[in-house]
């Protein structure tokens, strides 16, 4: 982004990568797949790179409002400094925080989740996708809480899967009643409280009941949790966990 600024240019959209997308080896693949799609659609985009910092979501949900607002205000200063208007992110947690909690602190942006953004690109005809290798494959979609229930977006990811011409089978608990993967509310960064099962295993079992070839996800944390769940059920040879952006990129062999 700094380079853009130096050249006096403004990107069409800022890609907010998020901590998982930047550091987690699995999530980095999602980042790269999404970038391939952006490039294919000739989107003029920028990233903050080393100037990006945690949105503060896990801090807020852990109860540390102070740390959250420190993070938020710092990020807002950076974003406003670059006069950012439009942001896209592949993480529903970043999406939710920037969309809902930044405006009250002076950060007003048009923010889209990457599934919404990809859907709009397809509607505008800037990105075309055909079923490719996923055509007719049995796939189930796991709703991220912070995209679905938290922000009411259930259709964008499903529309994309439809474009891939997959056979979409819904789990028993889906959309507004979808079961959490277990990572939200800062649970990602701690061991679960004592219980008789891990939430991600419960959710993965439910996903496996639909006998899918692929569990589609739209959140890097859900992705981790479901991948771990699939491993725990020793199903990793038969079932893949993929982000929708990865699926679209793979369908095209990008």
Partner 1 sequence: MQYIPNILFIIALVAGIGYFAMNIRKIIRNIKLGQEVDASDNTAQRWSNVVRIALGQSKMVVRPIPGLLHVIVYVGFIIINIEVLEIIIDGIFGTHRVLFSILPAGLYNFLIASFEILAFLVLVGVILFWTRRNIQKLKRFWANEMKGWPKNDGNFILYFEMVLMVLFLTMNAADQSLQSLGAAHYVQAGSFPISQFIAPLFNGLSEGTLIAIERGAWWLHILGILVFLNYLYFSKHLHIILAFPNVYFGKVVPKGKFKNLDSVTNEVKMMMDPNVDPFAAPAEGATEAPAKFGASDAMDLSRIQLLNAYTCTECGRCTDECPANITGKKLSPRKIMMDTRDRLEEIGKNINKNGEFKPDGKQLLDDYITREELWACTTCNACVEACPVSIDPLSIIMDMRQYLVMEQSAAPTELNVAMTNIENNGAPWPYNQMDRLNWKDEN
Residues of the shown chain interacting with partner 1 in the complex, contacts defined by CB under 8 A? 17, 19, 21-24, 28, 31-32, 47, 49-50, 52-54, 56, 58-67, 69-71, 73-74, 77, 96, 99-101, 104-105, 145-146, 149-152, 173, 176-177, 179-180, 182-199, 201-203
**178 vs 212 by CB, closer to partner 1:** 178
Least Cβ distance, residue 56 to partner 1 (angstroms): 7
The tokens of 118 are what?
């990809």
User: Minimal CA–CA distance to 29: which of 247, 252, 236?
Assistant: 247
Least Cβ distance, residue 183 to partner 1 (angstroms): 7
Query: 199-208 vs 220-232: helix axis angle to the nearest 10?
Result: 80
Least Cβ distance, residue 170 to partner 1 (angstroms): 16
**139 vs 147 by CB, closer to partner 1:** 147
> DSSP strand E in the chain: where?
13-16, 45-46, 86-89, 110-113, 138-141, 167-168, 214-217, 240-243
Q: What does the DSSP assignment read for 180-233?
A: P-S-TTTGGGSPPPS-SS-HHHHHHHHHHTT--SEEEESSHHHHHHHHHHHHHT
**77 vs 238 by CB, closer to partner 1:** 77
Least Cβ distance, residue 237 to partner 1 (angstroms): 24
Least Cβ distance, residue 251 to partner 1 (angstroms): 20
d(CA 19, CA 246): 18
**31 vs 240 by CB, closer to partner 1:** 31
**104 vs 136 by CB, closer to partner 1:** 104
């Amino acid at each position: 982004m700094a380079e853009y600024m130096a050249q006096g240019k403004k990107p069409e959209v800022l890609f907010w990568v998020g901590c998982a997308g930047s550091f987690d080896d699995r999530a980095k693949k999602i980042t790269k797949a999404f970038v391939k799609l952006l490039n294919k659609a000739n989107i003029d985009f920028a990233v903050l790179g080393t100037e990006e910092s945690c949105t503060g979501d896990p801090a807020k949900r852990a109860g540390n409002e102070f740390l959250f607002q420190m993070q938020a205000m710092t990020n807002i200063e950076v974003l406003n400094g670059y006069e950012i208007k439009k942001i896209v992110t592949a993480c529903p947690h970043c999406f939710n925080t920037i969309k809902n909690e930044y405006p009250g602190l002076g950060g007003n942006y048009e923010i889209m989740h990457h599934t919404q953004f990809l859907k709009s690109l397809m509607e505008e005809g800037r990105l075309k996708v055909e079923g490719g290798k996923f055509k007719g494959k049995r796939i189930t979609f796991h709703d991220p809480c912070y995209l679905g229930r938290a922000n009411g977006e259930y259709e964008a990811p499903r529309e994309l899967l439809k474009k891939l011409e997959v056979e979409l089978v819904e789990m028993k608990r889906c959309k507004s009643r979808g079961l959490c993967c277990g990572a939200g509310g800062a649970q990602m960064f701690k061991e679960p409280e004592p219980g008789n099962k891990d939430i991600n295993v419960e959710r993965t079992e439910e996903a496996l009941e639909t006998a899918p070839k692929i569990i589609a996800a739209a959140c890097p944390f859900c992705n981790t949790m479901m991948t771990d769940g699939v491993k725990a059920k020793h199903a990793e040879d038969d079932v893949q966990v993929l982000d929708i952006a990865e699926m679209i990129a793979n369908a095209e062999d990008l």
